[in-house]
Amino acid sequence: MIAFWVLLVLIAIAVFSFVGIYNSLVSLRNRCDNAWAQVDVQLRRRYDLIPNLVETVKGYAKHEREVFERVTEARTKAISAATVKEQGEAENMLSGALKSLFAVVENYPELKANQNFLMLQEELAGTEGKIAYARQFYNDSVMKFNLKQQVFPSNIVAKMFNFKEKEYFEIEEAEARRPVEVKF
Amino acid sequence: MYEQITRNKWKSFFLIIFFLGLIFVLTWVFGELTGLGAHGLILAAIIAILMTFGSYYASDKIVLAISKAKPIEKKDYPYLYNVVEGLAIAAGLPKPRCCLIDDTAPNAFASGRNPRNSVIVVTKGLLEKLNRVELEGVIAHEMAHIKNYDVLVQTLAVVMVGIVALLSDWILRSFLWGGGKRKGRSRGGGGAAALFILIAILLATLSPLVAQLLRFSISRKREFLADASGALLTRYPPGLASALRKLAEDREPLEVANKATAHLYIVNPLKDIKGAVNKLFSTHPPIEERIAALEKM
């Protein structure tokens, strides 16, 4: 009789921990997806800011057409990028173009004092930071998700239900690791 | 970085276990003396929880009112908002509310019983005196407090201090009230009973002090923990280290802070920390030690 009860308790414990592990794997996977979506939200915000910024700078520096064109082109490319790799390249180009835009601004003291411009500059710097943090959080989430699939005993459950490890977001060029330098 | 986080989590865990051990011993002594068993603990726990429940539940509102912190809007402080929003993303938490104290002494704190009800408060001086990297370090420290549920930990510590104080008080009082009951229960002759009473008196007198020390010690461990997990959010420990150095050099006390709220701030806003005894009773570890820990990461 005692053996029966012991067996019953053991089975109950096994079932409960099984359900717990499965649920935590699912919620970790959802967190990764959500974190990835958060990166897109911030990238979109950055794309939306750029036309405003270009317009504001244009008002003071009409002759720098070349710079504006580069920024606009890089932005279009980044938005329409189909693969992660393409997007990475376009993002690099956009960062470079923005850098030269801010270099141009240095020659226009009036523009540097413009309230609207300062606001946009702060927003852009803030968004750059948020993109970096969103990517960092995505990688942190992926690390937790992958770890859960590797350690015992959750690796058994992960194998059973065919959970796949997710890939980290990595930046190839060291240059792109730094966000655009925006001075204050 | 990861080791420091784990180590500080374990340390605060053991401190709490030690605390529970102290409460257990006091309960047992109280039970032996009065014959009430564990009822003493239940009563003390209920009283202590009731006393602190309000301060836990409305932790953000009470402390905001005491500190004269005003809510601010994004359009007025885009700089601060962007930093807070960025770090909330990094921590995977909902964005806390932001409040400002109109004081030039640089300082900051976080409060709220859970991430959904959290608030980050900074002084005007903090925004003026720190650069962006340093401000990110400070906000990350506060975000880490929120993520680690430090308001809950602090409240728990206060509840335990309360339980110890009540039990100790009752043990001492039981000598005044229940002399007859005790005589009837003493089985093993006068000597052992006298020794037991002596130990009980000693325990009841010292415990409240030990409990306070434990509470401060827990608070210090949580500061180290918030430094380390904050550095993990920014991935840049020198930012917070440099901010702490600036805050330490600033000798201006914060007027709205007092003994009751001092433990919340990132550095002690009262600026009167010197000497070994004060160190034991301090809610914050010395800034030099915190900077050294950050530089080791």
**Is the domain of B184 the same as that of B76?**
no
Q: Establish if B90 belongs to a structural domain.
A: yes
| Domain limits for position B135 | 59-150+219-296
Is residue B214 in some structural domain? no
Mean of per-residue pLDDT scores for chain B: 83
The pLDDT, as a whole number, for residue A32 is 92
Note the pLDDT tens digit of each residue in B201-220. Answer: 888 888 888 888 888 888 88
Q: What is the predicted pLDDT for the residue at B184?
A: 46
Query: How many domains does chain B contain in total?
Result: 2
Q: What is the DSSP string of chain A?
A: -HHHHHHHHHHHHHHHHHHHHHHHHHHHHHHHHHHHHHHHHHHHHHHHHHHHHHHHHHHH-TT-HHHHHHHHHHHHHHHH--SHHHHHHHHHHHHHHHHHHHHHHTT-HHHHH-HHHHHHHHHHHHHHHHHHHHHHHHHHHHHHHHHHHHSTTHHHHHHHTT--PPPPP--SSHHHHSPPP---
**Taking Cα atoms as reference points, which of B258, B244, B239 lies closest to residue B134?**
B239
| Segments of chain A scoring below 70 in pLDDT | 171-184
pLDDT digits (tens, 9 = 90+) for B118-149: 999 999 999 999 999 999 999 999 999 999 88
B126 and B226 inside one domain = yes
Chain B residue nearest residue A126, CA to CA: B82
A123 touches chain B (CB under 8 A): yes
Residue B89 pLDDT level (bands cut at 50, 70, 90)? very high
Domain-embedded: residue B43:
yes
Answer whether residue B56 shows pLDDT above 60: yes
Domain identity same for B112 and B166: no
Specify whether B73 is catalytic: no
Residues forming beta bridges with residue B69, ordered by sequence position: B101
**Within-domain flag for B213:** no
* Cβ contact B79–A129 (<8 Å): no
Strand partners, B101: B69, B123
* pLDDT value at residue B186: 47
Q: What is the pLDDT of residues B233-289, one digit of tens each?
A: 999 999 999 999 998 888 788 888 877 778 888 888 876 655 666 677 788 888 888
CB B207 within 8 A of CB B164: yes
Which contiguous run of DSSP H or E holds residue B83? helix B78-91
B-contacting residues of A 19-38, CB under 8 Å?
Answer: 31, 35, 38
Using CA atoms, how far apart are residues B248 and B174, in angstroms rounded to an integer? Answer: 48
List, in sequence order, the alpha helices (H) in B108-254. 124-129, 132-147, 150-177, 179-185, 189-234, 237-249
Nearest to A136 among B78, B83, B90 (CB): B90
Which residues of A are less than 8 Å from B83 in CB distance?
Answer: 126, 129
Of residues B90 and B190, which shows the higher confidence score?
B90
Whether the ipTM is more than 0.90: the answer is no
Tell me if residue B281 falls in helix, strand or coil: coil
| Measured distance CA(B126)–CA(B129) in Å, rounded | 5
Domain contains B117: yes
Residue B148, classed as helix, strand or coil, is coil
Average pLDDT over residues B190-194: 75
pLDDT confidence of B99, banded at 50, 70, 90? very high
Backbone φ and ψ of B123, nearest 5° = -95, 160
